[in-house]
Amino acid sequence: MWFHKNDLKFHQSVADKSIRGYVLPHAGTKYTGKIISHTLRFKPTYKFKKVVIIYYPVSDKPNVHNRYYHEYYVPMKSIKHFIDNKWNMKKVSYVGINLRSDINKLDITDITDTVDITDTVDTTDSLIIVSADFSHFLPFKHAMELENKAAMSMMFKKYNKTDYTHIIDHIISFKFLNRIIPYEWYLQWIGRTRSPGKKGVGYLSFFIKEPIPLMKPDGIFVTCYDNTMVARECLGEWFTHHHWTKHTENNLIKKVIHLGTTTSRLTGISSDLPVTYYTVTYLYSDNKKFIRGYHGIKHNAFYLPNVMLEHTHSNGKWADSNDNEWLDGKFMLHHTLDKLTQKADKATSDNYTLYRSEVRHFKI
């Protein structure tokens, strides 16, 4: 069974006025129900009339009820379940864009500026869903490494053929998304899980966001990357005794790029590859219970939300070289607090502060 409502859970909703869509997995909800529920707890305040689901089916014929492709069916039924029963919205229609059948008509195998497909979807009244899974049947450590790079690559809108973009099912859907949404819209990584077994399937989820005016943050972090999506440097600044200014932010950006270009503190090695991308993360103190992928956490030292997505299992354990499959379960925060204590290199109390984040991605 591809979809069952009992696989989904209604968490307390978190309203977000910048959300204009999601990237959701399309495997059966037995495996993806938790990450879909986690992602859809974040509710858009934008009023839409239509849900547009972008998908690329693996088969050439429908495989659900002889009518639907599972790549459309799973995210459609899942978002509809939330819209009907949690968000209580009425008169919402659902439209699928099958990129396998429309590929020749749309000519999006190699997106160029001469191809005009922007009229295919009206983003002014639509919630956009990209249906996508990630690595399939790779060894655990290798899969995690490739998915981490793939996640960053999609957020930087970098679609060229690499070993890590090759694992995305399907990158054509992201190329299509990039053509139909306004240039300034962006992705923010929010969820990650994996099917069981030593060679499972990776599931990642993202927000599709429209930038909104930002309040002055409590802190900012800048992370720079080379062209292979290796993080070269990451530094932050907290505004405990002074306020954020654009000048302060620009100085931090210059410092991070300079340090990342010379010797990378994160990798411990020098590289001839230039720094080509950077992300600015704006942090705001938050009193909600910890949500993996949504909250950064400060316990003397600090971890960005992405760090937990890149390095922790669903149960909170930090992945290490001995792990060979995904560990599911309730996220236990003490693993991360222990890591932060080690990072700070001093004993600390049990107190910690959570920060929600907004991100902006840039190409140099």
Per-residue confidence (pLDDT) for residue 111, from 0 to 100: 35
- Identify the segments of the chain with pLDDT beneath 70: 102-120, 264-271, 347-349
Global pTM value: 0.93
pLDDT, tens digit (0-9, with 9 covering 90-100), for 50-79: 999 999 999 989 999 999 999 999 999 999
H, E, C per residue of the chain: CCCCHHHCCCCCCEEECCEEEEEECCCCHHHHHHHHHHHHCEEECCCCCEEEEEECCCCCCCCECCCECHHHHHHHHHHHHHHHHCCCCCCCEEEEEECCCCHHHHCCCCCCCCCCCHHHCCCCCEEEEEECECCECCCHHHHHHHHHHHHHHHHCCCCCCCCCCCCCECHHHHHHHHHHCCCCCEEEEEEEEECCCCCCEEEEEEEEECCCCCCCCCEEEEEEEECCCCEEEEEEEECCCCCCCHHHHHHHHHHHHHHHHHECCCCCCECCCCEEEEEEEEEEEECCCCCCCCEEEEECEEECHHHHHHHECCCCCECCCCCCCCCCCCCCCHHHHHHHHHHHCCCCCCCCEEEEEEEEEEEC
Per-residue confidence (pLDDT) for residue 266, from 0 to 100: 67
pLDDT, tens digit (0-9, with 9 covering 90-100), for 264-317: 666 666 667 889 999 999 999 999 999 999 999 999 899 999 999 999 999 999
